[in-house]
Structure 1
Amino acid sequence: MKLIFGHSEAVARFVADMTPGCEAGFGKCQAIGVGDDETGELVAGMVFHDYQPGPGLMQISSASKTPRWLTANVRHIMFSYPFDQVGCQMVVLQVSAKNERMVRIAKAFGFKPYLIERMRGRDEDGFVFTLTDDDWRNSKFTRKYHGQVLSA
């Protein structure tokens, strides 16, 4: 998988088109695409939106055509952008409670879940997940980037 920079509008539209309830798009945002190594086709995207500089918050949304897109390098860039480049202290992720795979992934990454009844409509609950910069930097996913040694 190769990262695609400089095409925020197209990547954000790709993610919005694949995200139920996101017909209006993300507004002012930055996005990073993920392309297939062989075809160059856009297979996934990450959108960074609703940035609030005062409290240092940013929302992240993503969508993909394949589960293969979430490599170690992509994960590193996905969280390096808000935490290391922008200087956020927390990212927020909203996920349908029906999206069991993404709920499982968010929890594995160290996000803290908050279940909100009817967040996605009368018949659909959702999670608001939060991840602080401290929790990310101390996670098993980033130890090698921050000079920490994995313990047995």
Structure 2
Amino acid sequence: MFRRLARMSALFAGVLLVGGVAACDPNGLHSAEHAGPFPHESPSDAADVSLDQALSDYGVRLPEGAEDIAYGALKALDGYPFNVQFSMPCAGVPAFVQDNRLASAGEKTPDQVLTDVVDAGFTPDAGPAYTRAKGTKLPEVVGAVFERSGTCRMFLGA
């Protein structure tokens, strides 16, 4: 009887220990499994292709000096969802827009980037929006840009 009581106590202590570890780790005991294998993969988005491959597939060239890059791209899903966001000097936005064949689309933040814009703390519809210019043979891409402290944050999605 005493052995059974000791085993039950040990089992109970083990359950408490595992519960305590899980409580200290809000992403669960396997949070490292959620880390992406690709550089710049956003923690909130998944990717099954590299950033370079996704940019090539969508005909997007990031500007020199792009910083704080985060992306998600799922080639395995129907429609190949893709999004990328990065920071750049605001003075470089017109050249980036032209190089990537984007055209002005007013100020309504496109649905494809709306969640990322809100998650980044920007107010939707408060910055210029873009869409891939008509007549290009490149895949459709939409975007929005927001300025904060002299730096622009570009959000692109497809």
Q: TM-score range by the shorter chain?
A: 0.3 to 0.5
More strand by share: 1
Q: Which structure has the larger Rg over C-alpha atoms?
A: 2
Instruction: Using CA pairs under 8 Å that are at least 6 residues apart, name the structure with larger relative contact order, 1 or 2.
Output: 2
